[in-house]
Structure 1
Amino acid sequence: MSSLDPTILPTVDAVRAAERHVRTIMPPSRLVRNESLSDQLGVEVWLKLELENPTGSFKVRGAYNVLAELTEEERRKGVVASSAGNHGLGVAYAAKAFDTPAMLYVPRTAPQVKKDGIRALGAIVNDEALDYDAAMVLAKAHAAQHDIRFINPCLGLDLLAGQGTVALELLEQLPTVTTVLICTGGGGLLGGMGAVLRTLAPHVHVIGVQSEETAAMTHSVRAGRVQETTVTPTLADGLAGQIDEEALYIGQRCADDLVLVTEAEIGESIAWLHRTTGMKVEGAGAVTVAALRHGRVTPQTGPIAVVVSGQNIDDSRLATLLATY
């Protein structure tokens, strides 16, 4: 494999530097063996519990690294970001830690628990946009008007370096891992982890998982060019949105395979995880488990590591899923 594009994907050294920043706010996330999935597949399955991080997802890693890398003057001016919710929580958390003003643009359909959480951390929330992509347009315009840093939820070397710390931890916790399932939207986690895995463990099979309603990356990689997808309601709201050429490159270089799960499979997996582990998992975090439970991925060897990221699901939605599945 040729070298990765250093203008899109971070170096391992950059990820290690990000890890030093991340360690100031959180320890490595837990990696736990799931007996039921291991028995079902006949190989060891381990869950990387990113939902236990501050703000409830992996997003806080990249956001904190971005703020840590800004100059004092840049922090004083403030930051702006667009988000389906979890990136906004991460940015708000990091901004509070660095006493930086933060403005977050989120779609009006974002879960209330995410919008409330962002506001509770002291950031301003604008939820006038119809969808995630419209929120990004507003956020970029705000950044240009006020000459402040726009923090992309899925791209940027400093952001991806922060997300890549998940892979550094995983390789230390489970050095024999053979397959990694990564929840995939715009490619932030796939790119950060992929940059590390391609360099330090190129034998590891990397699988990105999306829902059928958030499949911009999958459709684009399969077509070999960026494909625009229709915005539709989904349990995996954290994975929604279009992608661009940089994200396409991430999908092409960092994923050995991309698979899709249905809304019903996500809903069943959210309910199953809650009943069997007590975990409260949002749709974007449950897609990886859904891929295993419903046969979308059937590895012949293990151990398998599964990223579970996102606990920010509205109680009413969880209750409905528990009553349905």
Structure 2
Amino acid sequence: MSLLDFSIVPEAAAVRAAATRLRSFMSPSRLVRSDALSDQLGIEVLFKLELENPTGSFKVRGAYNVLAGLSPEERARGVVASSAGNHGLGVAYAAKAFGTPAMLYVPRTAPQVKKDGIRALGTLVNDEQPDYDAAMVVAKAHAAREGIRFINPCLGLDLLAGQGTVALELLDQCPAMQTVVICTGGGGLLGGMGSVLRQLAPGVRVVGVQSVETAAMTHSVRAGRVIDTVVTPTLADGLAGQIDADALHIGQRCADDLVLVSEEELGETIAWLHRTTGMAVEGAGAVTVAALRHGHIDAATGPLVALVSGRNIDPSTLDLLTTRFPA
């Protein structure tokens, strides 16, 4: 616990306060057993269904906690954010709940289902930038110009405190949990959950999962310094983008291991999840299950909990994958 920098990751008290705020806004997400993976791995495997949250991912937790912590005057001036899609949906949903004007910058390659969902919530969307990192640069400039709050998709104590409420729920739902597997991009969920678990349940093993095309965190942690990666097309668009020194701290201090899955493994897993459970899971939310299905995580004992977060996959992509990877 002493290795955590509490200027970057939240203390447990802040996460508990976020959980209190969220209690009137949304219910805890369900924890369900995966019979297929439990049988395959020989341990108890559970899915934390963050894709059943409002907007379809964990991102709404942090966004709501940020908006809840602003003054009425700050909320009236509005907020701006950059996003690959799900953070934008979370900000749009929370902004609507508070009656706050919001502007979202997303890459032009963001799935149409996410852009349409953000606009449907009454938020303005700019999708002129070529990738996630360029969208963030423009969003930050907008916030500075207008003097309004920029809501970072992966960093900020109030944002991470909201994401950390997932870990608090798990400690209630599965106190015997031995391992938790977390979808990892810029480190928001890993930082929020990992900080809570390091403080309250240090015996729980924390494993972050990325795709080979979204591996900025993994490459940086392995190198011991921030490594820029090439932005390439990926099914896990929600995990794409570079990281900075704060995110590197999260990867180094909040994860016991970081593993990568291939695009092929990820596509097969999305099709498998849809075929066997009926769930439509986007790539960023399916990386955890892909890592388990394809043997990238060695877990001798359970229970093991895998986060499944993100249902916002374009129907055409899902159809393509289910055709390509039949039973």
Alignment match, 1:129: 129
Alignment match, 1:253: 253
Q: Contact 2:3/2:253 (CA < 8 Å) preserved in 1?
A: no
SS at match of 1:32: strand
Q: Deviations over 1:244-276 (max 9, x none)?
A: 000000000000000000001010000000011
Q: Contact 1:80/1:150 (CA < 8 Å) preserved in 2?
A: yes
- Given the two structures, how large is their TM-score scaled by the length of structure 1? 0.99
Alignment match, 1:280: 280
Alignment match, 2:173: 173
- Given the two structures, how large is their TM-score scaled by the length of structure 2? 0.99
SS at match of 1:104: strand
Letter in 2 for 1:27: S
For residues 44 and 189 of structure 2, what CA distance do their matches in structure 1 show? 23
Alignment length, in residue pairs?
A: 325
Equivalent positions of 1:121-270 (< 5 A) are 121-270=121-270
Q: Contact 1:41/1:298 (CA < 8 Å) preserved in 2?
A: no
For residues 22 and 276 of structure 2, what CA distance do their matches in structure 1 show? 30
Letter in 2 for 1:143: A
SS at match of 1:150: strand
Alignment match, 2:319: 319
Show structure 1 runs of 5+ residues with no match. Answer: none
In the TM superposition, residue 282 of structure 1 has moved relative to its aligned partner by 0.1
Alignment match, 2:59: 59
Letter in 2 for 1:255: A
Alignment match, 1:38: 38
- CA-atom RMSD, angstroms? 0.5
For residues 19 and 201 of structure 1, what CA distance do their matches in structure 2 show? 17
Which structure 1 residue ranges, 4+ long, deviate > 4 Å from structure 2?
Answer: none
Q: Contact 2:105/2:125 (CA < 8 Å) preserved in 1?
A: yes
In the TM superposition, residue 3 of structure 1 has moved relative to its aligned partner by 4.2
Identity over the aligned pairs, expressed in percent? 77
Alignment match, 1:93: 93
Alignment match, 2:295: 295
In the TM superposition, residue 2 of structure 1 has moved relative to its aligned partner by 2.3
SS at match of 2:281: coil
For residues 26 and 13 of structure 1, what CA distance do their matches in structure 2 show? 20
In the TM superposition, residue 6 of structure 1 has moved relative to its aligned partner by 1.2
Letter in 2 for 1:22: L
For residues 69 and 11 of structure 2, what CA distance do their matches in structure 1 show? 16
Q: Deviations over 1:61-85 (max 9, x none)?
A: 0000000000000000000000000
In the TM superposition, residue 298 of structure 1 has moved relative to its aligned partner by 2.2
Show structure 2 runs of 5+ residues with no match. Answer: none
In the TM superposition, residue 21 of structure 1 has moved relative to its aligned partner by 1.3
Letter in 2 for 1:105: Y
For residues 58 and 83 of structure 1, what CA distance do their matches in structure 2 show? 14
SS at match of 1:243: coil
For residues 272 and 95 of structure 1, what CA distance do their matches in structure 2 show? 35
SS at match of 1:185: coil
Higher alpha-carbon deviation: 15-24 or 187-196: 15-24
For residues 4 and 42 of structure 1, what CA distance do their matches in structure 2 show? 33
